[in-house]
Chain A
Amino acid sequence: MTNHWIDFANSDCILIMGSNPAENHPISFRWIMKAKDKGGVVIHVDPRYTRTSTKADIYAPLRSGTDIPFLGAMIKYIIENNKYFNDYVVNYTNASFIVGEKYDFKDGLFSGFNAEKRAYDASTWAFEMDEKGVPKKDPTLQHPRCVFQLLKKHYSRYDLDTVSTITGTPKEDMLKVFEAYSTTGARDKAGTILYAMGWTQHTVGVQNIRAMTIIQLLLGNMGIPGGGVNAMRGESNVQGSTDQGLLYHILPGYLPTPSASLAKLEDYNKKFTPVTKEPLSANWWQNRPKYVVSFLKAMFGDAAKPENEFGYGWLPKLEDGKSYSWLDLFDAMYRKELKGFFSWGMNPACSGANSNKTRAAMANLEWLVVVNLFDNETASFWKGPGMQPKQIKTEVFFLPCCAFLEKEGSISNSGRWTQWRYKAQEPLGQSLPDGDIIYELFNEIRALYKKDKAGKFPDPILNLKWDYAEGKHFNPHLVAKAINGYWTKDVTIKDKTYKKGELVSAFALLQDDGSTSSGNWLYCQSYNQDGNNMARRDKTDETGLGLYPKWSWAWPVNRRIIYNRASLDLTGKPWNPKRPVLEFVGDVADGKYTSIKWKGDVPDGPWYPLKNPDGTAREDGKLPFIMKVDGIASIFGPGLKDGPFPEHYEPIECPVEKNPLSPQLTNPVVPEYTTEKDVIKTCDPRFPFVGTTYRVTEHWQTGVLTRWLPWLIEAEPQVFVEMSEELAKLRGFANGEKVIVESPRGSLEAVAIVTKRFRPFKVLGQEVHQVGLPWHFGWVWPPEGGESANLLTPSTGDPNTRIPESKAFMVNVRKKG
């Protein structure tokens, strides 16, 4: 999230789309209802009327997989009705930038498309540069090739009539949403978007979010209290695991994972350190080399030296152009390219898309280690439905770990607050904290490399800094300090001397010469000379906006709303003086600022504002979007694989043969997997209904924990399939009857919940039915619980993230027997 949970209460209009927070993030509703109580409007757009919809002022139905047409129509509405915040758009976004002549969009494809490679050459989307190398701009937004005009042209096709026939949303409902939300384009109004997996799990997942980002920028909603783009994460510590580099493409702190062609640290830094000629851009990523070297020092300690590039050569490298996402790993496993697999705190036999493929893939392993609280469908896959245990050679090890209440450590919530948790009780039996298991495991691995000199490439194993235990036990404080970082030698900077072994106070002090270490630059300050800032529990809140700056700690540098300087006008005064998260209060002489002083949240950069109170420009000010190379936010974004503007493409499996917006039916650069298990059927009469998956309040993920808790399994005992009364009538189902749900990839039995909360959609003149089911269940427990909905979902996904498309696919429902 750019903002944080409590900040929802500051919003004038909350758009909930691609999520169901009442059920999946129940505590969020505390803040949503506070906003509503103060007169804020709550909007829910969703295929199904859910517990969230019951609290919304406006509910609008939408067919799964058609968010971009809906949002595109909103962009068109905002522009044509002049609802955008002009000063913000001109000064803080790239709306005024001139795009080069090579850019084009035709027949659903952007310029630079290579049909053979199924990829774009993004160089055709570049901006036009002036003689100094700065993008050319037209602040009047009139140039036909400026971003604003291209945006207007792109979405001119997204008229209400066309969009309504795609999404199935009644036109009047759509208009109600557009009218309500676009009122937040006023300088004293804030609108926020709360999304979750309903937006990410699509073949256009990233572009769904880009579309909303464009809306937030047009309305001036970024960087302000009650605004922002807010992803409600799917697990309580997903934010933390992403920050710490759990995904294959990033190291901790969002440093790109090096690829094989970047053999030297110098090559890496050259490729990933952005350069700008824009004098007003802070271009914060110019500091990347400091963060990389500090990371290497944290990894390899004294063994990381300038002469060995701080151990850069010991980091694992990706093959250029190859992706290693979940879908790719299980594809490789299915194709017998992987020998072993650690399934740690997860249950891929139920959580992965196309679970039949996942389960079959695991039978190709030599060994599988499962670390979990309870037995689950992954640990017992070899004796699961349809398996022949005698023919499966995979050796499975099960290591019992303890639950979150039985260990100490930090957890980073969706709002980037990193909170320290104490241990409530000792672990049961022989179960251990994950940290202990990892610690001991690596010690054993290292001992093997020490013993057997023939081990391949031993250097990273032998040189890894691995001193996180006290006695025999892993100590999370030692890891937290290493993540924060230390001075590795005595250094004097501006008359202040830092001693070797002291913790670094904040990331501005990190160095690229090896004199500092930091496991994750973004977390530098979380555990410093002031102590463990994540454990703070002071409830003071001077702004009255719920920032609670002394409660826990938020990255970066305890900033509670990122890009917060965009909440100010060019002279550093809040756009909305009634709700200031930040304000510049430096001294003034003769109409000019003469000292730097900020009030409120930690400013996103400590510089002077762009202008003096008398309106004269300052040369020492900086633009607010400091992580962007040009200092401004991207309405036109050249960074993605599937285009600089979001465009509607149908899900890879969809109920329609035509896309009324272009001849291009599906995303042209979607990843393809080609095993016999990767079956995709579009417009196949055997699978006539749209399917989607979701969660309920009572269960968590695949239910490995919650299916064993009697009170929760009593409340939601079995997998169900929700459907409209019309569909039930069509198929002759009674409410509560067990029926078969099947896709081209698998099938399961589920209890039919026949409800008015699902309605058929009117799509291109046809009645389209949708059904939905939760993916919390599995065959291991309870006996009558049923199976995972991921038996149905397709193993393809977004071309940028490779998150599977588990929110829109095609199914059939039929009577049993």
Chain B
Amino acid sequence: MAGKGFFIDTTLCTACRGCQVACKNWNRNGTIPTKNTGSHQNPPDLDGNTFKLVRFSEVETDGKLAWYFFADQCRHCLVPPCKDTIEGYVDDAVIQDEATGAVVFLEKSKEAPHEEVTSSCPYDIPRHRENGPMVKCTMCIDRVSNGLKPACVKVCPTGAMNFGELDEMIALANERLAKLKPKYPKAQLLDADQVRVIYLVVDDPKKYHKNAVASLNPGIDRKTALRRMARPAKGLIRTFVGV
């Protein structure tokens, strides 16, 4: 598979949140006023100014405690449903970069129905920026196209975040998986054949984050579902003919 990819090894992540902050730094993203709600995870969720979020999850299995960290971000799907959804409503609002495979929302994406774009994502990633477009991780396409690594990868101290040619990332992921499997029988790569951002986890992925693996319409409510059924034919045709 051509293009670029990430390999995120959660076994090396210490939740220092360097990636979360570096992402905001590079993208000049602002903040929201937060409160401590009894967790270290903050902001509480991805938002119009947060493209990358380290999720914290305390789980106890058979009396043994684990604290999992999941550096959540857009997976840059090989076939991105968000793109399909947006294009069902607006032209020139999203690109899938040929060289890298990065899925990038453009200004015009603000014209697409925001909730529907979000709910069409199997990982619940896209967010709407107040008075602005739909936003999410851009794969730091401005950095990458100038020979730099994405900001989150550059800053990661432990090697949890990796970036390169997708084939190389898949090879690296498989190598790490083989190494960890004897000690962690539940070790697995998440949706590795469908995305450009491959996570390695060593336990049930749901224990890391409810949307760690693709689920059908993760955030969809009844209203959105109904609206999707009635969406313009243009998008449906595109989907069916694979344009």
Q: How far is the CA of A698 from the CA of B32 in the complex (A)?
A: 16
Q: Which positions 139-169 of chain B face chain A at CB distance < 8 Å? A: 157-159
Quick check: B157 and A715 within 8 Å, CB to CB? no
B236 contacts A by Cβ under 8 Å: no
Quick check: A51 and B15 within 8 Å, CB to CB? yes
A-B CB contact pairs (8 Å), 27 listed: A23-B16, A29-B14, A29-B158, A30-B157, A30-B158, A33-B158, A51-B14, A53-B67, A54-B68, A697-B16, A710-B30, A710-B31, A711-B25, A712-B21, A714-B43, A715-B21, A716-B36, A716-B40, A717-B34, A717-B35, A717-B36, A718-B36, A734-B38, A736-B39, A753-B40, A754-B38, A757-B58
B12 contacts A by Cβ under 8 Å: yes
Quick check: B18 and A26 within 8 Å, CB to CB? yes
Contacts of A714 in B (CB 8 A): 31-32, 34, 42-43
Q: Which positions 20-54 of chain A face chain B at CB distance < 8 Å? A: 22-23, 26-27, 29-30, 33, 49, 51-54
Given contacts A26-B14, A713-B31, A714-B42, list 9 more A-B pairs with CB under 8 A. Answer: A23-B16, A51-B16, A54-B69, A697-B17, A698-B17, A711-B20, A715-B34, A715-B42, A751-B38
Choose one: B37, B68, B69; the contact of A736 (CB below 8 Å).
Answer: B37
Contact size range, A: 35 or more
Contacts of B15 in A (CB 8 A): 22, 51, 54, 697
Nearest CB of chain A from residue B26's CB, rounded to whole Å: 11
Q: How far is the CA of A674 from the CA of B180 in the complex (A)?
A: 57
Nearest CB of chain B from residue A55's CB, rounded to whole Å: 6
A541 contacts B by Cβ under 8 Å: no
Convert A51-75 into 0s and 1s, putting 1 for each residue whose CB lies closer than 8 angstroms to a CB of B: 1111100000000000000000000
Contacts A714-B31, A715-B21, A717-B36; A22 near B14 (Cβ below 8 A): yes
Q: How far is the CA of A751 from the CA of B34 in the complex (A)?
A: 13
Nearest CB of chain A from residue B66's CB, rounded to whole Å: 7
Contacts A22-B14, A716-B42; A51 near B67 (Cβ below 8 A): yes
Quick check: A27 and B38 within 8 Å, CB to CB? no
A735 contacts B by Cβ under 8 Å: yes
The 7 closest A-B pairs by CB, nearest first: A736-B38, A735-B38, A22-B14, A26-B16, A714-B31, A751-B36, A718-B36
Interface centre among A29, A52, A714, A716 (most CB of B within 10 A): A714
A489 contacts B by Cβ under 8 Å: no
Interface centre among B14, B34, B42, B158 (most CB of A within 10 A): B14
Choose one: B25, B35, B60, B69; the contact of A784 (CB below 8 Å).
Answer: B35
Convert A567-581 into 0s and 1s, putting 1 for each residue whose CB lies closer than 8 angstroms to a CB of B: 000000000000000
A755 contacts B by Cβ under 8 Å: yes
Interface centre among A52, A710, A711 (most CB of B within 10 A): A711
Nearest residue in B to A59 (C-beta to C-beta)? B65
Q: Which positions 1-22 of chain B face chain A at CB distance < 8 Å? A: 12, 14-18, 20-21
Choose one: B35, B36, B68, B159; the contact of A30 (CB below 8 Å).
Answer: B159
A92 contacts B by Cβ under 8 Å: no
A720 contacts B by Cβ under 8 Å: yes
Q: How far is the CA of A312 from the CA of B40 in the complex (A)?
A: 54
Contacts A26-B16, A717-B36, A718-B36; A711 near B31 (Cβ below 8 A): yes
A752 contacts B by Cβ under 8 Å: yes
A756 contacts B by Cβ under 8 Å: yes
Choose one: A26, A53, A755; the contact of B157 (CB below 8 Å).
Answer: A26
Quick check: B66 and A54 within 8 Å, CB to CB? yes
B24 contacts A by Cβ under 8 Å: yes
Quick check: B66 and A33 within 8 Å, CB to CB? no
Nearest residue in A to B39 (C-beta to C-beta)? A753
Nearest CB of chain A from residue B47's CB, rounded to whole Å: 10
Q: Which positions 745-801 of chain A face chain B at CB distance < 8 Å? A: 751-757, 784
Quick check: B14 and A55 within 8 Å, CB to CB? yes
Contacts of A23 in B (CB 8 A): 14, 16
Nearest CB of chain B from residue A617's CB, rounded to whole Å: 48
Contacts of B14 in A (CB 8 A): 22-23, 26, 29, 51-52, 54-55
Contacts of A49 in B (CB 8 A): 65, 67
Q: Which positions 35-88 of chain B face chain A at CB distance < 8 Å? A: 35-40, 42-43, 58, 60, 65-69
